[in-house]
Structure 1
Amino acid sequence: MTKSPLSPDETRVLQQGAALKKPLARAAAIGRANGLGYVVFGALTTVMAAPGLDWIHLAEGALVTVVGVLQRREAPKLERGSPQAASDMSRNEFWLMIGLAIYCLARLFVLTPETTALSLDPRLARASGGDLDGLVDAVHGILFGSLLLVTLLYQGGMALYFRRRIPAAERYQRETPDWARATLGSL
């Protein structure tokens, strides 16, 4: 058995630092995964909206893509214990929530669906009991109302999640010496 090059005190400091870093690493992994999902979803939305120059969906896709890129950029900083990265990731989720909520509200109250193309098919009119506009409005309301609820819960929850990591990052910075953070960062 080889003797550890670290003293018992240094080993204890590394173990404590690793314990303090664990929730930050988990939050960073969540931020990276969310960021990747946002980039993929945002890019697909942008590509699908580009041919018709659908400005609303282009803006939505751009917002989601930018937030995804920002989350992926901040995640490694959070893992290294940056309180500013936790704050930035929280703010990114908050602005994504606001942007998507505005989009949902606009779709619910301003940009109502057009049923003229759907009205051309008499089978749809018969299936809806003759009130195709009412059916489309109901489906539209359920869809965007649900999306609004999910946005408020998910992005709002993620904003709070990252906001609550700020004290953990501050504690990691305060209680883990530079040499221990560098060692833990290289593992």
Structure 2
Amino acid sequence: MEGLHNRLKPASHVEDEAEFLDEEEQEKLLQELRVQNDRSNLLIQRWLVVISLLITPIYILFLYNSGTPMITMPMMERHLPAIIFLPKFAAAWNIASIYLAIYLLWTSCHLTVRDLVSFKTVAVHPSPRVDLTMASLTAGATAVAPVLALLARAPWTEVFFWSFPLILIALYAIVYRTMDQVQVHINEVEKARYKYKGA
């Protein structure tokens, strides 16, 4: 009987070790999932910054254009004179709004200069946390020029021209929402693992 007991004891130890390895593997997979998610988020955030910076020269050129301010966009057959109220102010305001949107992205996503320029492995960042007051102010700022264009009864082409920062902040909101949903799913997977472990 004692011999049977001794033979069963190592088998139990092997089962415990197998269970430990399973938990270790689960933690490794979760860590890989977090890193992949962070890398994907960072890539999207980089592109948002690039897109924002590419929009800015449109308004800088408009601001420094001598003579009658003209609406110029790619694929337009001809330039249109701007009929918006205070066109130079609107251009400067839109430039400021774009940089305000970049600042909102920067602070909400805990970005650093190294994150944007380095292509090496990055540490896992906290999930994005948007300051709703700052987001509301930014959205309001980006809406000023389109509203001025609508009040001036500008053609839709011009309204669209002045709406780029507003479209940009809407894109930011969609990205924030998507990143937040993915993070929620990752947290649910992690909670389910600990719940299963506790059971």
**3, 24, 27: which one aligns with 1:13:** 27
Which of the residues 130, 136, 158 maps onto 1:87?
130
Cross-structure match for 1:68:
102
Partner residue of 1:184?
Answer: none
- 1:99 aligned to which of 141, 146, 152: 141
| Overall identity of the aligned pairs, in % | 9
Q: Does residue 29 of the first structure (1) align with residue 43 of the second (2)? A: yes
CA shift in 2, pair 1:31/1:60, >3 Å = same
Instruction: Provide, for residues 81-122 of structure 1, a one-character-per-residue CA deviation record: whole Å limited to 9, x for no partner.
Output: 423x24359x65x65544333311211213x6xxxxxxxxxx
Q: Are the equivalent residues in 2 in contact too, given 1:86–1:165 (CA < 8 A)?
A: no
Task: Provide the rounded CA distance (Å) in 1 between the counterparts of 2:61 and 2:161.
Answer: 21
Q: Closer, same or farther in 2 for the Cα pair 1:88/1:43, shift >3 Å? A: farther
Letter in 2 for 1:143: T
In 2, are the aligned partners of 1:24 and 1:165 still within 8 Å (CA)?
no
Q: Which runs of 5+ in 1 are unaligned?
A: 1-6, 113-139, 177-187
Aligned equivalent of 2:53, options 39, 46, 50: 39
Contact kept in structure 2, 1:29 and 1:75, CA below 8 Å? no
Aligned position for 2:150: 108
Q: Residue 86 and residue 29 in structure 1: after superposition, are their counterparts in 2 closer, same or farther (change >3 A)?
A: farther
TM-score, normalization: structure 1? Answer: 0.51
**Structure 1 residues 43 and 65, CA, compared in 2 at 3 Å: closer, same or farther?**
farther
* 1:54-96 CA-partner distances (Å, limit 9, x unpaired): 222112112102322442565465972423x24359x65x655
- For residues 43 and 12 of structure 1, the distance between their equivalents in structure 2, rounded to whole angstroms, comes to 48
- Counting matched residue pairs gives 139
Q: Is the 8 A contact 2:105 2:172 kept in 1?
A: no
Q: Are the aligned partners of 2:94 and 2:142 in contact in 1 as well (CA < 8 Å)?
A: yes
Q: CA deviation at 1:37?
A: 2.0
The root-mean-square deviation of aligned C-alpha atoms, in Å, is 4.1
CA shift in 2, pair 1:153/1:74, >3 Å = closer
The AA in structure 1 aligned to 2:95 is G
Find the aligned partners of 2:131 and 2:180 in 1 and give their Cα distance. Answer: 10
TM superposition shift of 1:35: 1.1
Does 2:174 align with 1:160?
Answer: yes
In structure 2, stretches of 5+ residues that fail to align are: 1-20, 67-86, 116-122, 192-199
User: What is the CA-CA distance between 1:162 and the residue it aligns to?
Assistant: 0.7
Q: Is the 8 A contact 1:104 1:148 kept in 2?
A: yes
Q: Verify the 8 A CA contact 1:43 1:62 in the aligned structure 2.
A: no
1:119 paired residue number: none
Greater percentage in helix? 1
CA apart distance, 1:38: 0.9
Matched residues in 1 for 2:168 and 2:102: separation? 15
Task: Write the distance in 1 (CA, Å) between the matches of 2:183 and 2:149.
Answer: 39
1:20·1:172 contact (CA, 8 Å) conserved in 2? Answer: yes
